[in-house]
Structure 1
Amino acid sequence: GGVFPQSDNMGYLFLLCLLLPVYTITGYDASAHTSEETKNAAVSVPKGIVNAVFWSSLVGWIMICAITLAIPDLPTAAGQGFGMFFATMDAILPASLKLVLYIGILAAQLICGLATVTSASRMLFAFSRDDGMPVGSKALASVSAKFRTPVTAIWTATVLCILYVLLAMSIKVGEMSIYVIVVNSTLVFLFLSFTVPLVAGLFAYGTAKWPTPGPWAMSAGLYKLVTVLSVVGMGVILFIAIAPPNERVLYVILGFLVLALVLWFAVENRRFEGPPTGNRIAARKAAIAAAEAAVGEKR
């Protein structure tokens, strides 16, 4: 269980190898989630996204090459499965250097976890502020007068993440843990969330709906070319993500989509008004100004 079918097709094997960087080069959209708190966001946010992808790709490529070249025996390593990395480190590194490396990896994982919680809590706060959560939007949208942060949303996201990991690691479907299934499903939904606005932009960019791009922009023709290539690439990634032995991921995705559609047409499309527009934006700005004045902050 949990093993990809054996194949001599080099194209298929190459695509499988993309799964490793795909799992690690994620979260680069965090700059967008905090754009409201970013100075000169129209330039800083896209610059942050590009830098995150570039440096992650470069450093990751060097690291993967180093680990691959350090493996003493590839057939033996392949048979060790998830323990391959640790077995390789045991074989090539002295104990002291190995400890330093593991501490560095632990620190990097902690920072990645904090970044994930930051993005999750920021999105939870933003959705709640627009009354987008089915329950608890008012509490989750509240901002602490003392810390000037959405404390409720932050702690809610943090606790839910921890509970999810603890529960998912202890439950299995067949030989595969719920954790693996949900993580793979999350990867699919993550790239779907990128694909939807890209496709929408493909038809809107350079038209009356989107006549004036920001300062960090491509020409309409180049944008459409890059978008098509991106969507095709994401389609390949999504196909690999639901291929055996991850076919259960497809069931989770379809079940979630059906549930989401039922909830939307049964309840949410009549309750949720969408992001604020017109007078609601003016009222939101007035409320923010009043809150800032209440804590002595000057614009």
Structure 2
Amino acid sequence: MPGTLDRQEEAILEEDVKVLHHMGYAQELARRMHLFSNFAISFSIICILAGGITAFPVGFSAGGPFSVTIGWILGGLFSLLVAVAVAQIASAYPTAGGLYHWASILGGRGYGWVTAWINLLGLIFVVASVDVGVYLLFKDLVAARILGLDVSGWGYGAQVLAVALILLSQGLFNHFGIRTTTAITDFSGYLILVVAVLLTLTMLAWGATFDLSRLFVLVNNTGAPGGGFYPEPRAALMALLLGMLYPLYTITGFDASAHTSEETVNARHTVPRGIVHSVLWSLIFGFFMAASFVLAMPDPALAAKDGGNSWFNLFDGLPAPVFLKHLLAIGIVVANYCCGLAGLTSTSRMVFAFARDGGLPLSATLRRVSPAHRTPVPAIWASAVLSLAATLYSPAFNALAVGCAMFLYISYAMPVAAGLVAEGRTWTEFGPFRLGVWSKPVAAVVVLGVVVLAYVGIQPPFDILISYAVGLLVLLLVIWFGFERHRFQGPPVGEMIKKRQAEIRAAEAAVGEPGHLG
């Protein structure tokens, strides 16, 4: 009965708010997201039509067909392990800015503070790399191929202007409420599935050789064979590991489900499912899509020599109907735009949550929530500006892409590592999603795998990230030991939570009551 359903949902919403109050936070954001929406925001950021296409040369120019098919499965399964480890903690602590909060609770406020900055950098790189990818895909697929424009003169200035306009529009969608963003990311979830399936079938119908042995061919394309994408020849094992950056860059950003916990109904149950399912379905659909690319190649050796143009040349040469190719091109660009939109949503919630605990400059401003729209407006626009800045100072899309994967996975591993040590000792409060006896073995594999990823991520041609990583580490240590360890209190714990109750009531009253209904 409708009335009964309303009472049940009201009881769930009240429990969500109770859990949030128990962690010392007010329900300022509007809870409008249900299971599909929470899944869709992570699925939209993962977006196999984004990294699965734009980062394809990262894998193929390393280890050939094996890297983008079998390597996709191996990398995807590792991502799934990371996802279930993260989901277990998200079920226990369903807050915005989840990774920072978890790391602080499980490993201490200094550890959480460092996690926050690493995660924030990774999220900024996500938005930056995706929106640069939106521009490149629009230029190559729509402007040049559909509209017939001469894009040879579209240089750095055009890219900066285009990315700024993209971020402006994404910021406006986020500004005006989670309902608007959710509607777009829900649509994006369906769009990604439909376009991915249609693209896969198109590749198979008009280009495939159906020589399945191709999928298992490991070719070391580093050096000259890969068209100079990896200029230095590397050993076969390193080529394979470099190729793994392809699925790991693509299957990332699933922490968005956690960052929107305070906007999700029945968060302790819903958020873990959103995280795990977004990774699982991306792994499955992404594999078939990548396999269709390999099967449709007239000559994989020539495709490798094309370097970064291999996918675009393959798509151009496909003898499919023109209207179908145009439809796919538009769908790919729109899905990538939605990916960037979801990424900005996730980043802004991280900024809001960290500022709420005083962890950022201008925290008093960045933690504000608009009473009219129930969104963290200053955090949204700060995230957009920082994302644009990241595109200005990075010399290449691929450096942004690999940096995104490396920094995000490190930030995922940090609370997982803290949980590995704290579980059964200081970590005794768990949510309904539990790994049981598999918890510590999974956590150990995640930590070890991310150490390997960090090593691979600073290999040429991505060695520019060494300066990012070292510079960030030194800067964080100086700031922490010089200033923040005496000032920054971290998330509320113990008596601090009890003392915050009056602040919580005031914060909820400021955005309109009842705070949890939105």
Q: Quick one: which amino acid aligns to residue 101 of structure 1?
A: L
Taking a change above 3 Å as real, the CA distance of residues 192 and 242 of structure 1, as seen in their structure-2 partners, is: same
Matches of 1:20 and 1:187, distance apart in 2:
9
Q: Which residue of 2 aligns with 1:217?
A: 434
Q: Which residue of 1 aligns with 2:250?
A: 24
Moved more, 79-88 or 181-190: 181-190
Taking a change above 3 Å as real, the CA distance of residues 137 and 293 of structure 1, as seen in their structure-2 partners, is: closer
Moved more, 121-130 or 270-279: 270-279
Q: Quick one: which amino acid aligns to residue 42 of structure 1?
A: R
TM-score of the superposition, structure 2-length normalised? Answer: 0.52
Tell me which of 307, 310, 315 is aligned to 1:89: 315
Q: Which residue of 2 aligns with 1:237?
A: 453
Superposed displacement of residue 2, structure 1: 4.8
Q: Tell me if structure 1 keeps the 8 A contact 2:232–2:460.
A: yes
Tell me which of 101, 111, 132 is aligned to 2:328: 101
Taking a change above 3 Å as real, the CA distance of residues 296 and 132 of structure 1, as seen in their structure-2 partners, is: closer
Q: Tell me if structure 2 keeps the 8 A contact 1:168–1:179.
A: no
Q: Which residue of 1 aligns with 2:483?
A: 267
Q: Which residue of 1 aligns with 2:153?
A: none
Q: Tell me if structure 2 keeps the 8 A contact 1:124–1:140.
A: yes
Q: Tell me if structure 2 keeps the 8 A contact 1:117–1:158.
A: yes
Q: Tell me if structure 1 keeps the 8 A contact 2:371–2:512.
A: no
Superposed displacement of residue 283, structure 1: 4.7
Tell me which of 451, 463, 480 is aligned to 1:247: 463
Matches of 2:232 and 2:247, distance apart in 1:
20
Superposed displacement of residue 141, structure 1: 0.8
Q: Which residue of 1 aligns with 2:302?
A: 76
Q: Which residue of 2 aligns with 1:190?
A: 408
SS in 2 for 1:209: coil
Name structure 2 gaps, 5 residues minimum: 1-227
Q: Tell me if structure 2 keeps the 8 A contact 1:121–1:153.
A: yes
Map residues 57-68 of structure 1 onto 2, 5 A cutoff: 57-68=283-294
Q: Tell me if structure 2 keeps the 8 A contact 1:185–1:253.
A: no
Q: Quick one: which amino acid aligns to residue 45 of structure 1?
A: V
Moved more, 103-112 or 281-290: 281-290
Superposed displacement of residue 178, structure 1: 5.2
Moved more, 182-191 or 242-251: 182-191
Matches of 1:107 and 1:193, distance apart in 2:
29
Taking a change above 3 Å as real, the CA distance of residues 245 and 97 of structure 1, as seen in their structure-2 partners, is: same
Tell me which of 156, 171, 176 is aligned to 2:382: 156
Name structure 1 gaps, 5 residues minimum: 170-176
Superposed displacement of residue 295, structure 1: 5.2
Matches of 2:432 and 2:387, distance apart in 1:
36
Matches of 1:262 and 1:2, distance apart in 2:
36
Matches of 2:511 and 2:442, distance apart in 1:
46
CA offsets 1:243-286 (integer angstroms, 9 cap, x no match): 22222212321121011101111111122111122444345443
Taking a change above 3 Å as real, the CA distance of residues 103 and 178 of structure 1, as seen in their structure-2 partners, is: closer
Q: Which residue of 1 aligns with 2:152?
A: none
Taking a change above 3 Å as real, the CA distance of residues 113 and 284 of structure 1, as seen in their structure-2 partners, is: farther
Q: Tell me if structure 2 keeps the 8 A contact 1:132–1:274.
A: yes
Tell me which of 241, 264, 287 is aligned to 1:38: 264
Superposed displacement of residue 179, structure 1: 4.8
Matches of 2:353 and 2:301, distance apart in 1:
49
Q: RMSD of the TM alignment (CA)?
A: 2.0
CA offsets 1:93-136 (integer angstroms, 9 cap, x no match): 33222111111111111111011101110010111111110x21
Matches of 2:405 and 2:390, distance apart in 1:
16
Q: Which residue of 2 aligns with 1:52?
A: 278
Q: Which residue of 2 aligns with 1:174?
A: none
Q: Which residue of 1 aligns with 2:368?
A: 142
SS in 2 for 1:27: coil
Superposed displacement of residue 31, structure 1: 1.0
Percent of aligned pairs sharing the same letter: 43
Matches of 1:79 and 1:285, distance apart in 2:
63
What number of residue pairs does the alignment pair up? 287
Q: Which residue of 1 aligns with 2:118?
A: none
2:344 is the counterpart of 1:117? yes
Superposed displacement of residue 294, structure 1: 4.8
Matches of 1:211 and 1:138, distance apart in 2:
33
Following TM superposition, the consecutive aligned residue runs of length 4 or more in structure 1 with deviations greater than 4 angstroms are: none
Moved more, 183-192 or 40-49: 183-192
